[in-house]
Amino acid sequence: MKKRVVVVGAGIMGLSTAFHLAKRGCTDVLVVDRGYLCGGASGRNGGGVRAQFSTETNIRLMQESIAICRDFAAAMKINVWFRQGGYLFLARTPERARDLEASCALQTRCGLPTRLLEPSEARGIVPELDPSGVLLASFNPEDGVLFPWPFLWGYARAARDLGVELATFQEVVGFEREGGRVTAVRLCRTTPGEAPERTREESLVRCDEVVLCTGAWSPEVARLAGVSLPNHPHRHEICSTEPLKPWLGPLVADLTDGLYFSQSMRGEIVGGISVEPVPDGIDQRSSRQFLARYARSLVRAVPRLAGVKVLRQWAGCYDLTPDANPIVGRVDDPENLTLACGFMGHGFMMGPVFGRLLAEHVLTGERSALFQRWSLERYRTGELLTETMIIG
């Protein structure tokens, strides 16, 4: 088989990239994934979509991404349950309060309606909130939440309709190289399941370009092509409660301990929190440690949730980088390998806009200022930028 572009990873980043490649006329595209659709981080997150970041680049990108999310259901003919209830950020330490102040000032300059709130004002947004210990809050009503699965399904169907081929349960086991370029991708058929096991059914796909959109699996996949990456996987857990009568408008996020929670359209409280230590490498198992820590923090924020029942608990992996910013663009060797990884847990919300940018980058070869700033090369030169508005 021969394809012009092979996209590795059928999460939101890979599917959005394939869709935009096809939309620009490049329909000779194969998207491969080692598991099932929605099996990775794109199907395991809380569905949050926000523009409240601390760097102008991320803010501008998310302004466009939110606009795409707002129009997605009508454009793709699939309901993603997008609801703009806003994000309410909480700061409980002076350091995090200063971060909120600086971020809010930048967001305002970028045109966002973000505003700082005193603890008592935060209760005006969420009356059930206990503001004890909160020093400062920020709120942007344009942020929101959507349901991840139909978001992926919409991109997958739209890409297929344009001629893109999608192959699940196909693991990349190697790359063939010649003259500083990848000439083919070696695939191995896997058995459906949480941790697919290889069979003997292998295939070779020749290609002109390869795009890696493999999230937390990126270091091990890139290594097969001779590329060393500084990012690493980090397990993050999440859970969902029994449905409650609708009462919570925004997604609430505590910058101090990493707590976040929102209410779905079906009434469930969906949320997570940071837990340390976590196992090294890819680990998507659930832990009792998470549930205990999450329960304590959630009840501190909203005491009335003390009696709510948890129905489901699951985990996924953040893809962490040393400077909390992604790694995107072509590498020097092999020259036809493009990276899109290290999104620190917000790759899902950036996928819609990054798919367009990656497609343009692959087809034109042009290195925009954004792709130069977030290239792998920055770790050699030390030209790093740090994003502080990371939650979970």
Q: What is the pLDDT of residue 127?
A: 97
pLDDT band at 383 (very low <50, low <70, confident <90, very high): confident
CB 6 within 8 A of CB 170: no
Given 320, 346, 361, the domain boundary residue is 320
Q: How confident is the model at residue 388 (pLDDT cuts 50, 70, 90)?
A: confident
pLDDT of 380 above 90: no
Q: pLDDT (tens digit, 9 = 90+) per residue, 46-55?
A: 999 999 999 9
The whole-number pLDDT of residue 280 equals 87
Residue 205 pairs in a beta bridge with 185
Which tokens is 102 given?
Answer: 């600086």
CB of 235 within 8 A of CB of 274? Answer: no
Confidence of residue 262 (pLDDT cuts 50, 70, 90): very high
Per the listing, tokens 């600086």 go with: 102
Please state, in angstroms and rounded to a whole number, the distance separating the CA atoms of residues 348 and 61: 13
Residue 196 pLDDT greater than 60, yes or no: no
Query: In this structure, are 239 and 312 located in the same domain?
Result: yes
CATH number where 34 lies: 3.50.50.60
- Mean pLDDT on 55-84: 96
Residues 246 and 312 both lie in one domain: yes
What is the rounded distance in angstroms from the CA atom of residue 359 to the CA atom of residue 294? 39
pLDDT over threshold 60, residue 199: no
What's the pLDDT tens digit per position in 121-162? 999 999 999 999 999 999 999 999 999 999 999 999 999 999
Does pLDDT of 198 surpass 60? no
Instruction: Kindly indicate the confidence band of residue 365, based on its pLDDT and cuts at 50, 70 and 90.
Output: confident
**Interior angle at CA 329, CA 326 and CA 332, nearest 5:** 120
Whether residue 96 is found in the same domain as residue 193: no
Look at residue 79 and tell me if it is in a domain. Answer: no
Same domain, 289 and 305: yes
The set of residues, in sequence order, having a beta carbon less than 8 Å from that of 218 and lying 6+ positions away, is: 212, 229, 231, 319, 327, 339, 341, 342
SS (H, E, C) 138-181: EEECCCEECCHHHHHHHHHHHHHHCCCEEECCEEEEEEEEECCE
Residue 8 pLDDT exceeds 80: yes
Query: Which whole number is the average pLDDT over 340-351?
Result: 95
Q: Are residues 166 and 315 in the same domain?
A: no
The domain that contains 117 carries what CATH number? 3.30.9.10
pLDDT tens-digit readout, 18-57: 999 999 999 999 999 999 999 999 999 999 999 999 999 9
Same domain assignment for residues 243 and 135: yes
Domain boundary (274, 297, 320) is at 320
Range of the domain at 169: 2-45+149-231+322-381
Q: What is the mean pLDDT of the chain?
A: 94
Domain-located, residue 52: no
pLDDT of amino acid 392: 60
- Please give the Cα distance from 250 to 355 (Å, whole number): 27
CA distance 203 to 392: 39
Q: What is the pLDDT of residue 200?
A: 62
pLDDT of residue 368: 82
Last residue of a domain, one of 299, 320, 341: 320
- Counting the structural domains of the chain, the total is 2
Is the residue at 77 inside a domain? no
Report the C-alpha gap between 277 and 287 in whole angstroms: 11
Task: For residue 385, name the pLDDT band (cuts at 50, 70, 90).
Answer: confident
Per-residue pLDDT band at 197 (split at 50, 70, 90): low
Both 204 and 338 in a single domain?
Answer: yes
